[in-house]
A and B are shown apart, each in its own frame.
Chain A
Amino acid sequence: MTGLTIAIAFAASCVTFACPLLLASLGETVVERGGILNLGIEGAMLIGAFSGFLGAYFTGVLWVGLLTAMIGGIASVLLFGVLVVRFNLDQVVSGLAINLLASGVALYFLRVAFPGGGYPHLNFLFQPFAVPLLSQIPVVGPIVFNQPGFFYLAIVLVPIVFYLIYRTTFGLRLRSVGEDPRIASYVGINVSRIRYTSLVLEGALVGLAGAFVTLSQFNTFDTRLTTGLGFIAVSIVILGRWNPAGALIGSLIFGSTEALSFWGTAFLTGPQASSLAQLLTILPYVTTLVALVVGGRMSKGPSALGAPYAKE
């Protein structure tokens, strides 16, 4: 009984941890399909988490937090977008700059907002929402159908993003821009407009991912909460072959490793428990690296991914 309860709780936690990864990797899938490699997603997620927390904390309304998180995410990603689309700067380095900038902003304004020091807490959160009937299904119910609303949104977004990429005119243009922006512009496609659109979409999704961390998963803000998530999301996009369905599978796998490292102390017993539990913190990163070695080799992304493109 207890064993099963723990297993179910753990499985549910895996799904929960997968949620921000899924939201972020869906957004990254869209922009990478358009040929942009946004490593600034790490910083954007941090800003999303931070601005979401601030919005909720100071208004006392969670939904406002959601909105400010999306605004923060969009602003961060758009700043990156201006650098790489308008000014055609190196995408990798611009992404790194955004990450440094974001951590500076978060560290600085955290103390501006809460000068006392320590970590402020929210006493309200987006609680898991039990889907009527479905959550009553044994085992599966509590794992999948008793999750925060973010999770259902992310799941619904998988087919929507798929449809967007493969079944709409926008998607066709997006993919053509990712394959060869020069050719796309020759046939009359406004490359910049397509790319900005995809970036705004990503910003909103990444902002939501950040908000999930501070408004549902944890009830506090710390710059370390989202650390590494953005880069793992980028890896998920590669491993998922730039396909939303792949992003779903990848997010669940990496969510599980995160859950495992988070739950380490609960599972381990004996004299070495705390030692091993601490060692488990490297698990998500090592898993990602191993997965890249195993599966990253064969994947071929959009032809123009990360390549500079200047209008003639």
Chain B
Amino acid sequence: MGQETQAQTQTSASPALAPAPTPSSATAPDAAQPLSRGILSRSRLRSIYKAAISILLALVVTSVLFIITGANPLVAYYYMFYGAFGNTSFLIETLVRMSPILFVSLGLGIAFKCKVWNIGAEGQLYIGAFLGAETAIFLGNSPLALPASIVLAILGGMGWAAIPALMKTQLGINEVITTFLMNFVAIDLVTWFVSYPFRSTTADFPQSATIPASAMLPILIPHTRFHLGIAIALLAALPLVYFLMAKTTFGYKLRVVGENPEAAKYGGINVKKTIFLALIISGALAGLAGLFEVEGIQFSVMTSLSPGYGYTGIAVALLGGNNPIGILLSSFFLAGIYNGSVNVSIQLGQPSGIVSFIQGVLIIFVLGSEYIMRFLERKGVFKR
């Protein structure tokens, strides 16, 4: 009888149940079977399909906007694609646009992985940029200006995120509300700073003084705006975040806390510490995003520093499945939408607002993509 044999296996296996499994017993040769998992495993392929379906549907829904205004959606998307990736200079501009989005969304990926909904990246970006830039201005044209500004931008973003993080971990206050409200405080504060106490004496509009030359990020591709910050995003921030999430115990804790905080606590994980760290790391990266916009592109802190990168980061992190590689691809895509929409506006006289609209629709479809995928699998469009 099959079941009886199982019972016997259990009993015969039980002597192996030593109180302390030694390292050698855990690595018994027969136990360490190689697991066949390629780079494109089935589950990974499935999440790529899901992202692609979400993008496709978001573009279809957005074409309703074009149709309403009498524009041909295909033409509009052609201009959008052209404006984003049509030639080398457009492509480089898209990469320039991608840099702050990538920084923000890598951080948000960490926060979202442990289900901490930091929607305050916009404010953290402003505070980090302002603190970092003012540090550089304060230090003047010295070699210290750039590194010091980076440190201060990180601390600024972290510090600003630490406030809602403490409110969440110590008092249990919903971080969505606090991080969002703190965006207004941050933007209004920075606006006030550059309008009054730190206002440039020479500029016509409220903005800070210009940062010293030593703090300006070097241009890596001549005659473009491709600055060092983009390289740092791609070659330092991205691999670092990937490593942190995939290979470390911190990444493991993020996953456990995100999926089941009760189980995390039960399993001996310090849930509050993990949430706190996730929030301030995302704040730090948002701060860097803002600083590199100032030091690579704008050279002084303006009230219009960010067109909403903090919110775009939300859509990007979700579309990328909180996975650094996915985030890289989706931040490139959304940077393309940003720049492409500008081109659509110029060519077809389309009003602004397309970017927010696409982001909203995109998030909805990303959330619903599991449903859509299952529906398609039932219909036999995709194999289960």
Contact = CB atoms under 8 A, between A and B. Distances in A.
Interface stretch (A60-68, A170-178, A191-199, A289-297): A289-297
B130 to A, nearest CB: 14
A108 B354 contact: yes
A297 B355 CA distance: 37
The number of chain B residues touching the other chain, given as a range, is 35 or more
Contacts of A281: 188
Contacts of B105: none
B196 A296 contact: no
5 contacts: A93-B367, A94-B364, A281-B188, A282-B188, A282-B192
Interface in B144-172: 167, 171-172
Interface in A71-122: 83, 87, 89-90, 92-94, 96-112, 115
Contacts of A89: 364, 367-368
A83 B368 contact: yes
Nearest to A117: B351
Interface string A225-262: 00110011011001000000000000000000000000
Nearest to A232: B181
Given A93-B318, A100-B363, A112-B68, A106 B171 contact: no
B320 to A, nearest CB: 14
* Central interface residue in B174, B195, B355, by most chain A CB within 10 Å: B174
Contacts of B65: 108
Contact of A104 (B182, B184, B354, B371): B354
A281 B184 CA distance: 9
Nearest to B62: A104
Interface of B: 65, 68-69, 117, 119, 167, 171-174, 176-178, 180-182, 184-185, 188-189, 191-192, 195-196, 311, 314-315, 318, 351-361, 363-364, 367-368, 371
Contacts of A107: 351-353, 356
A93 B353 CA distance: 20
A288 interface: yes
Contacts of B167: 289, 292-293
A104 B360 contact: yes
A104 B363 contact: no
The number of chain A residues touching the other chain, given as a range, is 35 or more
Contact of B351 (A83, A111, A278): A111
Nearest to A287: B181
Given A96-B117, A293-B173, 20 more contacts: A39-B176, A87-B367, A93-B363, A93-B367, A100-B311, A100-B359, A104-B353, A104-B354, A104-B356, A110-B351, A112-B69, A112-B351, A227-B184, A235-B177, A278-B191, A278-B196, A282-B188, A285-B181, A285-B182, A289-B182
B353 A83 contact: no
A228 B187 CA distance: 13
A97 B351 contact: no
Nearest to A90: B367
A281 B176 CA distance: 21
A279 interface: yes
Contacts of A9: none
B192 A279 contact: yes
A112 B181 CA distance: 30
A227 B351 CA distance: 20
Nearest to A40: B360
Contacts of B318: 93
A297 B173 CA distance: 7
